[in-house]
Chains A and B, each alone.
Chain A
Amino acid sequence: MKAKLNPILAAGLFLFPAQPLHASVDCMLTLTMNCYRQQRYVTTGTNISANVDTVRIDSKQLLTLLEKELSRKFPQGAQLKVATDGKVWVTDSKAVPITEVSAYLNATLDDGVRLLNGQRNLATGQENTRSYYPITLTFNFSTLQGSVKGILMENLVVGSPDRYGFHIGTEKSAGTVNGSGSYNGNPAYFDGSLKLQGKATQ
């Protein structure tokens, strides 16, 4: 069956033709990391006895910390999303934004020093690239502060435009991150992995 193009959509496409995706797409943030802190440090005469405490931190725990900070409950399946400008949002399971939480969690995507490998066609908007870029994730909760940095490897695929001129872009970025900060007021070190995954139509 031949689909009819909505006149409003057609007018919109005429006034604002689809632009190629130059930046990455909004992505789901998946973080899994370990947090190390000095649990015990006892000096007895010439002996030192010490223990390092390790706890795991993930995106869902960050959501719970956000609930505590904001004194509100997010719906089941709520997710953390990183926008292309680095702002972090809580969305529902259907990716509908609920609230911006950049004051507590913020990502800096340094696009200026991105290393690009692959093919990008500026005329058609098609792209199939692997790029490397630095990211810094900063968290600022009352019990957990600090930042982690790393190099993410991004696979970005932007297909050919569909019959309405829209491109579908799929991004998968992953990398290891590490950094330092404080946990319950004590110095802490962090290491783990960070993933950004998203799909968008433009």
Chain B
Amino acid sequence: MPLTRVHVCWLAGGTALGVAVFLLGYGFRPTADAASRAAAPPSRHDPPHQPQAVPSRRPTDTPKQHPPDLPAPVQPPCPVDSPEFQDWITTRIADLNALAWYDDAASLHLILAELYNPLPEIQAAALAATIAFGSRDAIPILERLATQSRDPKQQQALTDAIAYLKQPTLLENLDPPSADHSK
């Protein structure tokens, strides 16, 4: 039977439909890269004792790799849409505020680690705690984050924090040799 114009049209339409179905189905599947990442063993920076990160449906910041000299940011132990999540956020922010009153390097590192937390509430609280901590040791981390950040508001907040911490302190001007709060 000879191929007529009607046959060609049917054939082309069927092919187009098949391609569309294939593309739609492929689009909803995870990419090969994401699948391999999910199957990969945890990196050496993953804390062994941390609870499993709960998948989030909320918009979060692009995760940034935290430096090896800082602990990993704490992940929420409950799903982000659960009623306990808001309590957890409130508690974490209170913890960070309390840490800011200490003067030791370990407390500063715990605060700085949370600057790498993908949850924006925790990031903001960590930046506020870094400013309240008042140590210039935080400046290299803040500068690195400001370079990596693509969010202009976050960049501005980081730049403002750096400028604030670079200033001399009241205590340095009162009694320079024994100023405790700026290293």
Contact = CB atoms under 8 A, between A and B. Distances in A.
- A pairs with B: yes
Interface in B142-175: 164-165, 167-174
Given A32-B164, A77-B101, A55 B173 contact: yes
A56 B102 contact: no
Contact of A61 (B98, B104, B128, B169): B169
Contact of A30 (B97, B104, B164, B170): B97
B103 interface: yes
Contacts of A61: 134, 169-171, 181
A199 B102 contact: no
Most buried by A among B90, B168, B171: B171
Contact of B101 (A35, A54, A79, A184): A79
Contact of A55 (B133, B169, B180): B169
Contacts, number: 77
Q: Is the interface of B mostly helix, strand, loop or mixed?
A: helix
B101 A56 contact: no
A144 interface: yes
A121 interface: no
Contacts of A79: 98, 101
B103 A76 contact: yes
Contacts of A57: 169-170
A143 B133 CA distance: 22
Contacts of B134: 56, 58, 60-61
A32 B174 contact: no
Given A30-B132, A60-B134, A54 B167 contact: yes
A158 interface: no
A55 B181 contact: no
A81 B109 CA distance: 25
A56 B97 contact: no
Interface in B97-129: 97-98, 100-104, 128
A197 interface: yes
Contacts of A65: 170-171
A183 interface: yes
A55 B101 contact: no
Contact of A197 (B97, B171, B172, B181): B97
Contacts of B98: 77, 79, 93
Contacts of B100: 30, 60
A170 B171 CA distance: 33
A64 interface: yes
Interface in A24-56: 28, 30, 32, 34-35, 53-56
Nearest to A192: B164
A56 B104 contact: no
Contacts of B94: 197, 199
B162 to A, nearest CB: 12
B164 A55 contact: no
Closest 9 CB pairs of A and B: A56-B167, A57-B170, A55-B170, A79-B101, A77-B102, A58-B134, A77-B101, A55-B168, A61-B171
20 contacts: A30-B100, A32-B164, A53-B173, A55-B173, A56-B134, A56-B168, A56-B169, A58-B131, A58-B132, A64-B180, A76-B104, A77-B101, A78-B101, A79-B98, A79-B101, A144-B170, A183-B170, A197-B94, A199-B90, A199-B94
Interface of A: 28, 30, 32, 34-35, 53-61, 63-65, 76-79, 93, 143-144, 170, 183-184, 195, 197, 199
Given A30-B100, A77-B98, 10 more contacts: A34-B167, A35-B170, A55-B169, A56-B134, A56-B168, A61-B171, A78-B101, A79-B98, A93-B101, A199-B90
